[in-house]
């Protein structure tokens, strides 16, 4: 086992150093050497990983698992942008469903209203449109944080400008498009 890692330190010395089984003067010499030797650093890091895995196995009593157990379970790497896209898509779906429901639930007949009632109804409609446009704009802003969704965001802005032209959100969307 007394294989050399580099010209100065052997594997045995590094293992003893990692275990704390060396006299203080030897510890100091090897510590200084490891700081400057990439081969010894790499071996030390590999040794640390091995020791960590061994400690973990012993601490969780996995060393007593049956020999038929496989430890090669692959854990998929989490995609960092999946969740925000899912949330943004959900928000857009809810807003779209609300807009469709609103269009379908409007009465098909015109009711004769007084001029004051007409003004109130128009005001309510403008408020509702402003709210819808603001929510759509907020959803587009959330999506704009992700470079991959640039074309989708621009479509959202154009939709706001075309559908709700007299709202503050449409004015903001026009600025974003330019």
Using DSSP, state whether 23 is helix, strand or coil.
coil
Q: How far is CA 140 from the centre of its chain?
A: 18
Q: Based on the fold, state whether residues 138 and 98 are members of the same structural domain.
A: yes
User: Which structural domain, as residue segments, surrounds residue 18?
Assistant: 11-64
Determine whether 47 is exposed, middle or buried from the number of CB atoms within 10 Å of its CB (0-12, 13-18, 19+): middle
**Which pLDDT score, from 0 to 100, does residue 1 have?**
46
Whole-structure pTM over 0.85, yes or no? no
**Which pLDDT score, from 0 to 100, does residue 54 have?**
67
DSSP one-letter string for 88-146: HHHHHHHHHHHHHHHHHHS-SSPPP--HHHHHHHHHHHHHHHHHHHHHHHHHHHHHTTS
Residues of the chain with pLDDT under 50: 1, 62-63
Task: Name every residue whose Cβ is closer than 8 Å to that of residue 74 and which is 6 or more positions away in sequence.
Answer: none
Measured between alpha carbons, how far is 118 from 131 in angstroms, rounded to an integer?
A: 20
Determine whether 122 is exposed, middle or buried from the number of CB atoms within 10 Å of its CB (0-12, 13-18, 19+): exposed
Domain membership of residue 150 (yes or no) is: yes
Domain membership of residue 32 (yes or no) is: yes
Q: Based on the fold, state whether residues 31 and 58 are members of the same structural domain.
A: yes
**Which pLDDT score, from 0 to 100, does residue 124 have?**
87
Domain membership of residue 2 (yes or no) is: no
> How many structural domains are present in the chain?
2
Long-range pairs of 120-126 with CB within 8 A, sequence gap ≥ 24: 126/166
Q: Based on the fold, state whether residues 98 and 158 are members of the same structural domain.
A: yes
Q: Based on the fold, state whether residues 45 and 17 are members of the same structural domain.
A: yes
């Amino acid at each position: 086992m007394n294989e050399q890692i580099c010209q100065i330190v052997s594997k045995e010395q590094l293992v003893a150093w990692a275990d704390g089984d060396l006299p203080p003067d030897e510890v100091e010499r090897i510590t200084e050497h490891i700081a400057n030797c990439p081969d010894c650093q790499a071996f030390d890091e590999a040794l640390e990983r091995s020791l960590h895995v061994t400690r973990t196995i012993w601490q969780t009593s996995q060393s007593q698992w049956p020999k038929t157990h496989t430890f090669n379970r692959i854990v998929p790497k989490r995609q960092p942008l999946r969740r925000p896209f899912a949330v943004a898509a959900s928000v857009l779906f809810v807003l779209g469903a609300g807009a469709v429901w609103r269009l379908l639930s409007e009465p098909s007949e015109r009711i004769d209203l007084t001029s004051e009632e007409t003004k109130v109804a128009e005001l309510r409609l403008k408020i509702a449109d402003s709210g819808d446009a603001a929510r759509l704009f907020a959803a587009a802003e959330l999506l704009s944080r992700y470079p991959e969704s640039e074309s989708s965001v621009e479509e959202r802005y154009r939709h706001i400008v075309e559908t709700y032209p007299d709202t503050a959100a449409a004015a903001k969307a026009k600025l974003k498009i330019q």
